[in-house]
A and B are shown apart, each in its own frame.
Chain A
Amino acid sequence: MSTDVDIDLISPVGNPVEPFLRTDRMPHIWCPGCGIGTTVNCFARALIESKIDLNSLALVSGIGCTGRVAGYVQLDSFHTTHGRAIPFATGLKLANPRLNVVVYSGDGDLSAIGGNHLIHAARRNIDLKVICVNNLIYAMTGGQTAPTTPDHATTSTNPYGTFEPSFNLPHLLEAAGAVYVARWTTFHVRQLARSIGEAFQKKGFSFIEVISPCPTLYQRRNKLGDSLDTMKYYKAMSKVRHGAPTSEVGLSINGEIVVGKFVDRDRPDYSTLMRAQYVESLGDRFVENRSGQEVETVCS
């Protein structure tokens, strides 16, 4: 009687994103109110809508709260070292060009310790889809200042307020050469899912920044309320400006958040350029890249 009803209530059957998740790893480690789970939901919905072949999709993460995404998705997934998701993904993509490779990591991982790799991969135009969850802080380690922490925010390592200027990531990525640059917040779930789908249609380095709350360490310490308050802030203060000059989309602690698709352009990706150069220089001596198909395998 009532037992049946209870089972029905807690049954996850019917959640359309469940096939994309390692349900045997739930519950996840993210705090109540954290935005990372929302971004994963959007990612899964983008996969559904894009009809991407999941067998040829690999996801690479670095270290940090967002770095844990790799462990929860039912895909070939790699949880690498701090800051190095992009170079790992570069090797994976170049060895097996048939793979769709997504890099899913946080702002500190990608733009601080991994900043050098970020700009060089964009410059080379490696065919990677980078989803950068920006919670404006190092969350996993307790709320330290990140390169993205906006003006005068209080952090555990800037207890009297941050004073160093922060990165405007879309501006950085446009300058470095990304072919697709967009920003959304975790309030913009439909737009984010659509944007991820668009990135899958691009050949080249795509970068999507997702502004996301860290209620435990950023909102609370800066007296910005809880996650519901943050959603209200995102709703009230976000302005959709597709094509906005990226120099004008820097973030502040409580000001306007410019969201939208800022860059959508085409230029040949690394593999295309490499192949063209070899064909031109080597002619008949050029042999197609088979690096990922070369290893004969054996079972012991």
Chain B
Amino acid sequence: MKADPRGVLTGEHFIDGDHACCEGALAAGARFAAGYPITPSTEVVERFAARVPTVGGTFIQMEDELAASITLQGAVWGGAKAFTVTSGPGFSLMMEHIGYAAMTETPCVFVDVQRGGPSTGLPTLPAQADMMQARWGSHGDYSIIALCPNSPQECFDLTIKAFNLSEEFRVPVMFMMDEVVGHMTEKVVIPPAGQIDVAPRKHTKKSIEDYLPYGTNGDMVPEMAHAGEGYKFHVTGLTHDERGYPNMTPQTQGKLVRRLRDKIRSAADRICMLEEENLGDADVVVVSYGITSRVAQRAIDSARTRGLRVGKLRLITAWPFPEEKICGLAQKVKAFVVPELNLGQMALEVERAAGGKARTFCVPHAGGGVHQPEEILNVIVEASR
């Protein structure tokens, strides 16, 4: 289906990534947000608070991130598309409810505009150090999807994608921005509503008698109902059977938790978005994401000018990790170079997927700024030897 024109601010804009993310959410059909102020993410909900009463929806500022991250899920079960926005310290508090959304299969979006950590860290300065937390931060086994925009335009485009994926797979989607992308102002083109694809909720058409809240039809994603429609269904964070009833057996646990993992894993090819350049003849592949991919571009261009055969692989989707792509490349290339604004998180995944067939060079940065292109170039040169 196409976007509701009331939420779409069609035209050319000169806005930052936080504002573009908000417009993406509105275009995707989000009509509910719950938030708690935190730098450098607050502009997203500030804009939403100003815009949403003019398109028919609700913003509520909650008492903390624990509340915000579950209030939005109540809204989803009430029929809304909903999201919240935060940064590192708030993201840590939201882990409880990322697990709840994964377990109850509540479609929703968590925007994390990453800043330096740990703890209060660097409130106004960038990092990309929440990447493993986004994947593994809540307890237990589950899967999520995480996207990494590298420009305000992508903050718009990929926020819509994040909502669409959350609806298709009934999974919380982590929208992993960083402070630079969030506060960088660039041209953002918002197309007419009729050109924006929006995923509808996967709502059941079954009768009340036939409806099984967590029954699946082969594609591993159950159909939803909303409160107030007469289905009288039960939702719990406890291990549950297809009726949604608690069931404390290893068999039910195994079936449920494997499905939560496999519904994403089995569709990884379809979910994974990558930007590729010059991989055909590459000796070295630079794997990057978010703002770091734009710094890496300069280093890659310099290296190719020097005659080094360097390819680019940009992770637009960080999770599920494109392990088959890396595994395939590892058969052909000498090395991967992984710059990121942390001390080596996604580099661990690259190393794992490469399986010892190619070396992995980490280009760490503790956050607070971005790499100098020369830092990345030097590692590319070293990796090419």
Contacts and interface: CB of A to CB of B under 8 A. Distances in A.
Interface in A8-28: 22, 25
A55 B53 contact: no
11 contacts: A54-B232, A55-B230, A79-B238, A84-B66, A87-B70, A90-B67, A92-B77, A116-B63, A289-B57, A299-B204, A299-B223
Nearest to A124: B60
Contacts of A91: 32, 34, 60, 70-78, 82
B55 A99 contact: no
A95 B56 contact: no
Contacts of B200: 295-298
A117 B78 contact: no
Contacts of A296: 1, 200-201
A50 interface: no
B237 A295 contact: no
Nearest to B204: A299
B229 interface: yes
Contacts of B72: 91
A117 B231 CA distance: 28
Given A296-B1, A297-B202, 6 more contacts: A91-B73, A91-B82, A94-B74, A287-B54, A296-B200, A298-B202
Interface string A145-158: 00000000000000
A93 interface: yes
A180 to B, nearest CB: 22
Nearest to A78: B235
A286 to B, nearest CB: 6
Contacts of B53: 278, 282, 285-287
Contacts of A293: 79
B217 A79 contact: no
Interface of A: 22, 25, 54-56, 58, 60, 70-71, 74-81, 83-84, 87-96, 98-99, 116-117, 120, 274, 278, 282, 285-300
Contacts of B31: 289-291, 294
B79 A79 contact: no
B235 A94 contact: no
Contact of A295 (B60, B79, B238): B79
B19 interface: no
B298 interface: no
A81 B100 contact: yes
Contacts of A81: 70, 96-97, 100, 237
B58 A76 contact: no
Given A60-B74, A87-B67, A87-B70, A294 B81 contact: yes
Contacts of A22: 234, 245
Contacts of A54: 232
Interface residues of B, number: 62
B11 interface: no
Contacts of A297: 200-203
Interface string B92-126: 00001100100000000000000000000000000
B77 A295 contact: no
A98 B32 CA distance: 16
Contacts of B96: 81, 84
Interface in B274-296: none
A91 B82 CA distance: 10
B236 interface: yes
Nearest to A70: B234
A171 B228 CA distance: 33
Given A95-B32, A96-B79, A290 B205 contact: no
B32 A288 contact: no
Nearest to A123: B63
B64 interface: yes
Contacts of A80: 70, 100, 237
Q: Give the most central of B4, B32, B53, B97: most A CB within 10 Å.
A: B53
